[in-house]
Amino acid sequence: MSESQSGFSAELIDYLEGRISFEEFDRLREEREAKQAFASMLGETAEQCSTEEDENEEEGNSYVDDEDDEDYQVDEEDEDDKDRGDEEDEESPDAGDVFALEMELNRENKKMMKERRHRSKLPRALRGLMGEANIRYARGEKEDAILMCMEIIRQAPLAYEPFSTLAMIYEDEEDVEKALQFGLIAAHLNPSDCEEWAKLAEMSLEQGNVRQAIVCYGKAIKHDSTNVRYLWERSSLYMQLGEHKQCMDGYRRILSLLPSEDGHHFMQLSRDMAKSYYESNDLPSALGVIEEALSRHSDLLTDEVINMAAELYIANHQHGKALQVVCVLVDFCGIVLVRAKHPQTDPPLEKEKEGEQQTEGTLEKKNEETTEAEEVTAEEGHVSLPPPVGEVRDVHVPDSVPMDIRVKLIICLIHQHVYSPLDMMLTGLMEQSPEDFGDLYLDVAEAFLDEGCYTSALPLLSALVCSEKYNLAVVWLRHAECLKALGHMEVAVRSYGRVVELAPQHLEARLSLSTLEQQLGHPQRALEALCSMYDAETLAHDASAAQQELKLLLHRSTLLKTQGRLDDYLDSMLTMLAMLLKVAMTRAKVCVRSVIVSGVKHLRLVKVKDHVSDIDDQEAAYQDISGKTSVLSREDWWQLVVQSMCTLCEVRRFKEAELLVDSSLEFYSFYDVIPKRKELEFFGLSAAFLDHNYRKAYDYIRLMLIDTVERPQLWNVFNQVTFKSQDVRHHRFCLRLMLKNPDNHALNVLCGHNALVSGSFKHALGQYVQAFRSHPKQPLYSLCVGLTFFHMASQKFVAKRHPLLLQGFSFLWRYVDLRGPCQESMYNLGRALHQMGLTHLAIHYYHKALSMEPPKLEGMVDDQVDLRREISFNLALIYQSSGNINMARQLINTYCIV
């Protein structure tokens, strides 16, 4: 049914068809009314301010109602008489009567829709039908009544009466859902009926719709803002939903509406509000409520109110005000503070007497020279305290004062650093049984601990831990802290151990116990105190437990490393990193497994080929892990990863270091940070090289060289990797890289080496010559060019062998000149002559090289650069081929046999 045909607003149609909830319907209706009010404020005409339903209805009618036409300006009373006459005289009206009736209904509908006052919008022509519907309902003819109400709704959709009747009909039929819906529509059309709103709120609660009930009570409060019952019910519903602020706002409105003679209810509600604010850690609001109660109804003060006010001030560290509350507002207690006289502020005796008459207080003179007593009493519900003069020397507390308030007074004096009057008061407290007043014992002990008076707190705590009712973990913890502060370490260890027994999941107690055991020289006990607190299932589902376990593991790993137990240290580190890298390890197909090493279980990182992941949504799992591991910053986690990799390499577990790098590279928080990613790649390269996994090391160094080719260290590592791997797949990589960087010196030399090894001597010669031209003073390139000529001359089919040899020897002698006469240069020259078959010349240079001492290079062993074994072996080959076996044997025995 469209809006133009039915006359209903769009939001009402959506609500009736179930597309929106009642709260959304109410919000949309208020927004539409606000827009209409704003349009009227801009000075628009009444026709422009009329609703869209009016315009659509006028366009949809076959006859247009023109109010300016005199033919249709009919007096309302005449029309009513005419309608009544038609009903009495004619049983079947003709077409003209029907037309006149429709025009009248249209006119009244439009007039009602434009009105702002909430009164009946039922047209007069339909009131008879409405009455007939009510009569049918009263007779029990509910089907007919429903049809009549629907017809009225069709013709007058803004009248609340048919909706209200339908709500009653469906309520009688126990169709609560429909009754509630029609009742809500009727209440919106007649919003000033507060009782109806309250009834609808109760029906909503029966349906379990608390939000809808709150909206209904809000509507009732809008039209009856002084009704305390509505405010109370709505605040109670807010409390059920956990919306503390809205609940407290409602209670504050109730307090402002309560009459002055209803002080008992005011005080009761104020106590409840202060308690609720205190439980939600909103101390300023709690103090505001209780201070208002003290100022408005000070004549209704009780021990409970005084105790609560003092406790709130103490919790807010306002001990001076708490002392005033205890000593001033309890006028019937007669508490007396004895203060020392201040020599500069001691008034004359006459002024003291005048002050007594003006305040009508009780000022008792205890000592005319040094002390005076101040007893404060109330006057007509208003109390006041003169400014404190001098230090408090003594306190007189009548026996009638309750123990709760005595303890509050003791706590205030402790925090005010007034200790001299406390002996008698503490004696009175200690005479009470800790089974009955243990909470007061603990409050006083904690006050002493806060001020550093550990000696005074220890007897109170010792009495509590010996009791049955207060033999609790929190009391043992305070007892242990007190003993630790006093230096009684061994006794403190026993107290901390008792805390761990009573509360195994108390992290701070475990850490303190472990620290003390380590200080006392019990490392094994220190480690036992840091054992795991939760099982694997709890850690998987409880974020708070996971955070506590991480803190424990962090302290345990630090302790293990200081003790030198690296295997156990790595177990703790891998446990922590497995929590952080859970999703990353799944992608890298890595897992942590328990293995037995030398009869002891340890954790190891292993590669899993056919790993089946148990994580369905990796993004959700990553968010969950981020919450659990937020106890440490990303930088702290990075340091843990670096320390773990260094320790794995230290204990020569290079394979696991590789797997840890693979997992870390799959962790987005590390991979997205470029410096961390590059450092991880360097770690992976080092671990793979040390693990002799040269294929993987080649993959790492290849990526680094693609990123930059200007770092000689990378080319040195590249040469080491390719030399160890004995793989030739790097030849093509070097050629492709040289096409992009043709002027790179290292690439020229490396491509020349690759070409020389693969037999492409001309290509090698071109690369070496290019390197020689760029660095002509480097002896290596002269040697490489000369050897390339020798290799070309040694080929079987060559056209110009002698020119090649001459060119080779020319570069070789240039190399000797640049390098100088040394073991290396002589050996290379002899080796070239040996290759060409000039053995008589080769023997000369071999003997010359053999007579020279090897060079001394810093950082290298002398034997590592000594060429005498190679020289003697080549000489032995020459002598053996010439038949001089004895000379060959002598050289081998002298230089080659260890």
pLDDT 10s digits, 562-595: 989 999 999 999 999 988 888 888 888 898 898 8
Torsion of CA 397, 403, 408, 409, to 10 degrees: 10
Q: Which two tokens stand for residue 495?
A: 């107290």
Mean pLDDT estimate for the chain: 77
Is the pLDDT reported for residue 32 higher than 80?
A: no
Is the pLDDT reported for residue 846 higher than 50?
A: yes
Quote the pLDDT of residue 611.
Answer: 61
More confident residue, 658 or 352: 658
pLDDT in tens, 704-754: 988 888 888 898 899 888 888 877 778 888 888 888 888 888 888 888 888
The answer to whether the beta carbons of residues 828 and 860 sit under 8 Å apart is no
Quote the pLDDT of residue 873.
Answer: 92
DSSP string, 780-817: HHHHHHHHHHHHHHTSSS-S-HHHHHHHHHHHHHHHHH
Quote the pLDDT of residue 322.
Answer: 57
Is the pLDDT reported for residue 696 higher than 60?
A: yes
Partnered with residue 603 across adjacent β-strands are 594
> Which residues have a Cβ under 8 Å from the Cβ of 654 and sit 6 or more positions away?
648, 687, 688, 690, 691
Q: How many other CB atoms sit within 10 Å of the CB of residue 340?
A: 15
Please give the average per-residue pLDDT across 254-282, as a whole number: 71
Quote the pLDDT of residue 475.
Answer: 92
- The three-class DSSP label of residue 715 is helix
Rounded CA-CA distance 685/717 in Å is 9
Q: How many other CB atoms sit within 10 Å of the CB of residue 227?
A: 16
Percentage of the chain beyond pLDDT 70 is 73
Rounded CA-CA distance 388/410 in Å is 17
More confident residue, 51 or 426: 426
Quote the pLDDT of residue 98.
Answer: 58
Q: What is the DSSP letter of 419?
A: -
Task: Strand 336-340: give its sheet, edge to edge.
Answer: 362-367, 371-375, 336-340, 392-396
Is the pLDDT reported for residue 339 higher than 70?
A: no
Helix (H) or strand (E) holding 367: strand 362-367
Please report which confidence band the pLDDT of residue 640 belongs to, taking 50, 70 and 90 as the band edges. Answer: very high
More confident residue, 80 or 556: 556
Please report which confidence band the pLDDT of residue 357 belongs to, taking 50, 70 and 90 as the band edges. Answer: very low
Partnered with residue 375 across adjacent β-strands are 336, 362
Rounded CA-CA distance 234/214 in Å is 6
**Which of 14-23, 397-406, 767-776 has the largest mean confidence?**
767-776
pTM: 0.61
Is the pLDDT reported for residue 663 higher than 50?
A: yes
Range with the poorest average pLDDT among 739-748, 858-867, 879-888: 858-867
Q: Which residue in 348, 250, 329, 237 sits closest to 290, CA to CA?
A: 329
Rounded CA-CA distance 669/215 in Å is 46
Quote the pLDDT of residue 494.
Answer: 93
Q: What residue type is 259 in one-letter code? A: P
Is the pLDDT reported for residue 35 higher than 80?
A: no
- 614 phi and psi, to 5 degrees? -100, 10
Q: Which two tokens stand for residue 834?
A: 């040996």
Quote the pLDDT of residue 495.
Answer: 93
Rounded CA-CA distance 678/664 in Å is 12
Please report which confidence band the pLDDT of residue 354 belongs to, taking 50, 70 and 90 as the band edges. Answer: very low
Rounded CA-CA distance 701/888 in Å is 45
The answer to whether the beta carbons of residues 779 and 749 sit under 8 Å apart is no
Quote the pLDDT of residue 300.
Answer: 64
Please report which confidence band the pLDDT of residue 176 belongs to, taking 50, 70 and 90 as the band edges. Answer: confident
Please report which confidence band the pLDDT of residue 120 belongs to, taking 50, 70 and 90 as the band edges. Answer: low
380: exposed, middle or buried (Cβ count in 10 Å: 0-12, 13-18, 19+): exposed
177: exposed, middle or buried (Cβ count in 10 Å: 0-12, 13-18, 19+): exposed
Q: What residue type is 816 in one-letter code? A: V
Range with the poorest average pLDDT among 410-419, 463-472, 611-620: 611-620
pLDDT in tens, 478-517: 999 999 999 999 999 999 999 999 999 899 999 999 999 9
Q: Which two tokens stand for residue 602?
A: 């340890």
The answer to whether the beta carbons of residues 60 and 102 sit under 8 Å apart is no
Please report which confidence band the pLDDT of residue 617 belongs to, taking 50, 70 and 90 as the band edges. Answer: low
- 391 phi and psi, to 5 degrees? -85, 145
> Greatest CA separation found in the chain?
157
Rounded CA-CA distance 229/483 in Å is 55
Rounded CA-CA distance 569/808 in Å is 61
Is the pLDDT reported for residue 379 higher than 70?
A: no
More confident residue, 101 or 440: 440
Quote the pLDDT of residue 90.
Answer: 42
Handedness of CA 144, 146, 150, 153 (dihedral sign): positive
Rounded CA-CA distance 665/683 in Å is 11
Rounded CA-CA distance 587/666 in Å is 7
Rounded CA-CA distance 134/146 in Å is 10
Is the pLDDT reported for residue 684 higher than 90?
A: yes
Helix (H) or strand (E) holding 393: strand 392-396
Please report which confidence band the pLDDT of residue 48 belongs to, taking 50, 70 and 90 as the band edges. Answer: very low
The answer to whether the beta carbons of residues 383 and 376 sit under 8 Å apart is yes
Q: CA 716 from chain center: how many Å?
A: 46
The answer to whether the beta carbons of residues 104 and 73 sit under 8 Å apart is no
Quote the pLDDT of residue 116.
Answer: 44
Helix (H) or strand (E) holding 632: none
The answer to whether the beta carbons of residues 126 and 152 sit under 8 Å apart is yes
Please write down the HEC assignment for all residues of 217-253: HHHHHHHCCCCHHHHHHHHHHHHHCCCHHHHHHHHHH
Q: What is the CA radius of gyration of the chain?
A: 49
Please report which confidence band the pLDDT of residue 100 belongs to, taking 50, 70 and 90 as the band edges. Answer: low
